[in-house]
Amino acid sequence: MTRRIALVFLAVCALGVRSAAADSIRKNPTWWDKYQFLLKNGSGPSPGGISSLAVGSNVDVSNECGPQSETFITINPSNPSNLAAGSNEIFRDPMRGYFSLDGGATWGGVDLPLPPPIGANGGDFGSDPSLAFDTQGNVYYGYIVVFFGNGKGINGTALAVAKSSDGGQTYPTVTFFSFQGGANHFNDKPILTVDTNPASPFRDNVYIAWDAASGGSTSGGLRLARSSDGGATFAVTRVDPPKGPGRLIGADPFVGPNGEVYVAWNDFLANTITFSRSLDGGATWSTPIVVASKSIPFDFAVPAESFRRPLVYPSCDADRSAGPNRGRLSCSWMDLTSAGTTDILLAHSDDMGTTWSSPAPVTDALSTDVDRFNQWLSDDPVTGGVNVSFYDTRNDTTGQRFQTDDFLSSSSDGGATFAPNVRVSTVSSNEHDCNGTFPCPGINYGNQQGDYEGLVSFGGVSHPIWTDSRRQLDPATGCRRPFLMEEVFTATVQ
């Protein structure tokens, strides 16, 4: 949910409001809208363990008044009927966790822990969810904690990793670490993964990578924390060169079949997708390698998310199956097309990231102008299939590319070719207006869909999860203002 001190050296960069200058420096951070709401209204009441709602073949996982955004999902490799997920809560302080014990048909919800605020009049809230199971059935939930002081700005940020041993139903333990103080030092966009390879020397290691955004490169850069004791403690290393520019965002860690640890990120200063690897469990890192150059440095205002603006970030995974492409690495990201729209590209590597294929779209070629954004990639560890989910405007009926659906693209040959895309959402969402009226009171324009959506694939079954606004003004929900707003939706695709 947050956005880093990226394009600004003296203050946190921002994107909470629409700007005429598409790629210019912005005034407020993307969590600013949440900060202002909480400052004026306080955190809303907890919905408790509210149950999901089936909406045809889709499931409203959150089914909660107020907006949720920025979704993530994972699956228990020892028990694929058990899934866990998470999202940002925009009108409440904590992170929200979700769990399913029946393969994604029904879900329960739970709030994640927060540490005490800093100072007598301070507050804090969580942001940026990511989750992963280990081979013992434990699920880890990573996020950041933003500390603020009663209208006086940011006190600092810290990383958090919570642990559940009951499939995501409760998170009784949480480790907070890597606190950074001040408004121009900001831990941001953490993504978590776990080594689940049975023969790996680092089996069940927990890894979480993020950008420690800063006004100076020596105190910023890309960080990765690793835990070999079930998330109780974390050792932190820097992935990018300490003397480098440190202007990056969207780090995504993933693990190879023999315990290799990989990280890819958006180097927005060089305007590349960049990559590094570690063969010693994340202790040391290779010289960065360029996966591909790109056109969009940081983010881009598509009509469907013109307020928040979709972020450019890599989503990657490794083939851990016993198939012919075992060990292949695949990375996806959003970039600009010659028509001025956005598309999802993919490149793969068969030599542990030393060289990469030329980027190619994972999407259907269409004759109309279409935007695709906020993708996530999952490599099925059983079948080796490469799957990518994303928001897509091909079903828009407004003529303005306002309406989005969630789509899934799948490859059975290691990402070389993709089958026709599958529409996952059964009803389109419109984050721009409702009933032809702008602004729509059922949309939280400061956050919208968030920076990413989630996907996990296992045994030939995929579970995309996304932000959906089809029920934003549904009077049957019983919500008073501010309505149901954006919800967390999922589906099971075979």
* 25 has a pLDDT exceeding 80: no
What letter does residue 336 receive in the DSSP assignment? E
- Asked if 326 contacts 319 with a C-beta cutoff of 8 angstroms, the reply is yes
* 191 has a pLDDT exceeding 70: yes
User: Which pLDDT score, from 0 to 100, does residue 324 have?
Assistant: 97
Mean pLDDT for the stretch of residues 401-405: 97
Report the C-alpha gap between 266 and 247 in whole angstroms. 9
| DSSP element (H, E) containing 179 | strand 173-181
Q: ω into residue 482 within 30 of 0, thus cis?
A: yes
pLDDT tens for each residue of 428-464: 999 988 878 889 989 999 899 999 999 999 999 999 9
CA distances from 56 to 390, 449, 463 (A): 20, 22, 16
Encoded amino acid at 322, one letter: A
pLDDT tens for each residue of 336-365: 999 999 999 999 999 999 999 999 999 999
pLDDT tens for each residue of 202-211: 999 999 999 9
User: Which pLDDT score, from 0 to 100, does residue 28 have?
Assistant: 57
What are 169's two structure tokens? 């139903």
The residue ranges of every structural domain in the chain are: 32-490
User: Which pLDDT score, from 0 to 100, does residue 9 have?
Assistant: 27
pLDDT tens for each residue of 270-316: 999 999 999 999 999 999 999 999 999 999 999 999 988 999 999 99
User: Facing residues of 465 across strands?
Assistant: 454, 490
Q: Among the ranges 16-30, 82-96, 182-196, which has the highest mean pLDDT value?
A: 82-96
What is the value of pTM for the model shown? Answer: 0.94
- Asked if 169 contacts 110 with a C-beta cutoff of 8 angstroms, the reply is yes
Mean pLDDT for the stretch of residues 151-175: 93
Mean pLDDT for the stretch of residues 414-432: 96
- Asked if 392 contacts 421 with a C-beta cutoff of 8 angstroms, the reply is yes
* 8 has a pLDDT exceeding 70: no
User: Which pLDDT score, from 0 to 100, does residue 12 have?
Assistant: 31
pLDDT mean across residues, the chain: 90
214 pLDDT tier (thresholds 50, 70, 90): low
* Neighbouring residues of 6: CB distance < 8 A, sequence distance ≥ 6: 13, 211, 213, 247, 248, 249, 268, 298
- Domain 32-490 sits in CATH at 2.120.10.10
Q: ω into residue 190 within 30 of 0, thus cis?
A: no
What are 371's two structure tokens? 């935007």
* 19 has a pLDDT exceeding 50: no
91 pLDDT tier (thresholds 50, 70, 90): very high
* Neighbouring residues of 208: CB distance < 8 A, sequence distance ≥ 6: 130, 142, 159, 161, 190, 191, 192, 193, 224, 225, 234, 253
What letter does residue 200 receive in the DSSP assignment? -
CA dihedral 212, 214, 216, 218 (to 10 degrees): -20
Q: How many CB atoms are located within 10 Å of the residue 488 CB?
A: 31
User: Facing residues of 37 across strands?
Assistant: none
pLDDT tens for each residue of 362-393: 999 998 999 999 999 999 999 999 999 999 99
Report the C-alpha gap between 338 and 160 in whole angstroms. 41
Q: Which residue has the higher pLDDT, 122 or 239?
A: 239
Which 3 state secondary structure label does DSSP give 475? helix
pLDDT tens for each residue of 109-155: 999 999 999 887 888 999 999 999 999 999 999 999 999 887 667 88
What are 378's two structure tokens? 């999952």
* 102 has a pLDDT exceeding 80: yes
Q: Which residue has the higher pLDDT, 11 or 100?
A: 100
Tell me the residue ranges of DSSP E strands in 319-453.
329-336, 342-349, 360-361, 372-379, 386-392, 403-411, 422-423, 429-430
Find tokens 């629409």 and name the residue: 18
* 22 has a pLDDT exceeding 60: no
CA distances from 122 to 40, 42, 78, 119, 147 (A): 14, 12, 42, 5, 7
Report the C-alpha gap between 39 and 149 in whole angstroms. 10
Mean pLDDT for the stretch of residues 78-106: 97
